[in-house]
Amino acid sequence: MPDFKYLFGPVPSRRFGLSLGVDLVPHKTCTLDCIFCEVGPTTHRTLSRKEYVPTEAVLKELADWFALNLKADFITVTGSGEPTLHTRFGDVLAAIRTQGRGRPHAGVRSALLTNSTLLHLPEVRTAAALADVVKVSLSAWDLASFAAITRPHADLSFDCLVDGLRKFRQDFSGELWMEVFIVPGLNALRSQVEAIAALTRTIRPDRLQLNTAVRPTAQQNVPSLSESQLHSLAGCFAPAAEVIARFVPGAAPMHDLPRRSALAEPGSRSGSRRADKAAVLAMLQRRPCTAEDVAHAFALSREEIETMARELIAEHAVRKEVRNGETYYVGG
């Protein structure tokens, strides 16, 4: 089994089913420093686009993964920061499409998860359009709210971000999903949400999704909105937004997916690959996960997960954090 440096998972996702992640930037290299980010605080806030990790190495890992004939619903270009900062992310999306054809799991789709900040650049829009699904973010309605929630690079313009989203929608023939992250005290008043909704109507995403802080976040003690409150705000949007935050401890994390693959049972290789401690740590460094999340992502028993977690905690590579009644393992 190859050791992957730039691929991680597959990770069970609320929106993307079994999702193999592709990480194209060093840990927390981003254009923003969002207070609610699950990956942690931004350590390198930048607008500089370059080949942060070697593209050919990423393409080789993708080819190796496809050769294993493993399963995923999506291959998702995402990871430890803003993927569109990588100048060749479009080559990665093109390779996912090309290599998937003619394979036993040719139904795998590609997704790009972006914070929308670089879509004002024509070359970024052209590359992003190679994805089957592009999930963008819009959680503010003006520069002041944008600054408070996302703590952007000083040279970023909110109006430029919105204009980039509109231009991308005009040319993109795939599925455009938009996430609105709600933070009480910053953008949770109905009047504020209605202002965001008014902007979304000018962009016309195919799906709108409301989220709030249910996992550990970059800034500690970021408050969350209740499930009922989110549902009450969903009608501000057209079409009505989906509530994607997972509130019920132990609930299946893939309840709202357009399609769902079978998850691997312990010892099975049908949906995932067997993982060692290094692979589990690589996932936890990119996203806080519960023990159940890790069980779904890898063919591991609960006992194996707990043993690995104890070892990683003893090595100070992982810590426990309780959020909304669930215990998460957080890397770093």
Q: What is the pLDDT of residues 125-155, one digit of tens each?
A: 999 999 999 999 999 999 999 999 999 999 9
Q: Identify whether 197 is part of a domain.
A: yes
Q: What is the per-residue pLDDT for 257?
A: 35
- Of 167 and 264, more confident: 167
| pLDDT above 50 (res 182) | yes
**Do the Cβ atoms of 25 and 31 come closer than 8 Å?**
no
Confidence of residue 278 (pLDDT cuts 50, 70, 90): confident
Residue 327 lies in a domain: no
Check residue 18 and give its pLDDT: 83
State how many domains the chain has: 1
d(CA 193, CA 200): 10
303 located within any domain: no
Summarised one tens digit per residue, pLDDT across range 261-272 is: 333 333 333 344
In the chain, the N- to C-terminal Cα span, in Å, equals: 25
Whole-number Å distance between alpha carbons of 5 and 52: 13
Residue with tokens 């207070």: 35
pLDDT level of residue 114 (50, 70, 90 thresholds): very high
Residue 301 or residue 185, greater confidence: 185
Query: Is pLDDT of 289 > 80?
Result: no
In this structure, of 46-55, 239-248, 287-296, the range with the lowest mean pLDDT score is 287-296
Does residue 138 form part of some domain? yes
232 Rama sector, left if φ>0, alpha if ψ -120 to 50, beta otherwise: alpha
In the block, tokens 């109507």 appear at: 201
Tell me whether residue 304 is in a domain.
no
Residue 30 has pLDDT above 90, yes or no: yes
Residue 129's domain is classified under what CATH number?
Answer: 3.20.20.70
Residue type, 87: T
pLDDT the model gives residue 262: 32
Q: How far apart are CA 101 and CA 26, in angstroms?
A: 30
At 259, is the pLDDT very low, low, confident or very high (cuts 50, 70, 90)?
A: very low
Q: What is the average pLDDT across 170-182?
A: 96
Q: Answer whether residue 107 shows pLDDT above 90.
A: no
Q: Percent of the chain beyond pLDDT 70?
A: 84
The pLDDT of residue 325 is above 70: no
Residue 271 CA, chain-centre distance (Å), reads 20
pLDDT at 34 over 50: yes
In a domain, 2, yes or no: no
Q: Is the pLDDT of residue 273 over 80?
A: no
pTM assigned to the model: 0.79
296 lies in a domain?
A: no
| CA dist 101 → 2, 21, 91, 108, 196 (Å) | 22, 19, 16, 9, 39
Q: Which domain holds residue 243?
A: 7-254
The pLDDT-based confidence of 282 (bands split at 50, 70, 90) is: confident
**DSSP string across 163-206:** HHHHHHHHH--SEEEEEEE--TTTS-SHHHHHHHHHHHHHH--S
Stronger pLDDT, 90 or 328, i.e. the higher one = 90
In a domain, 274, yes or no: no
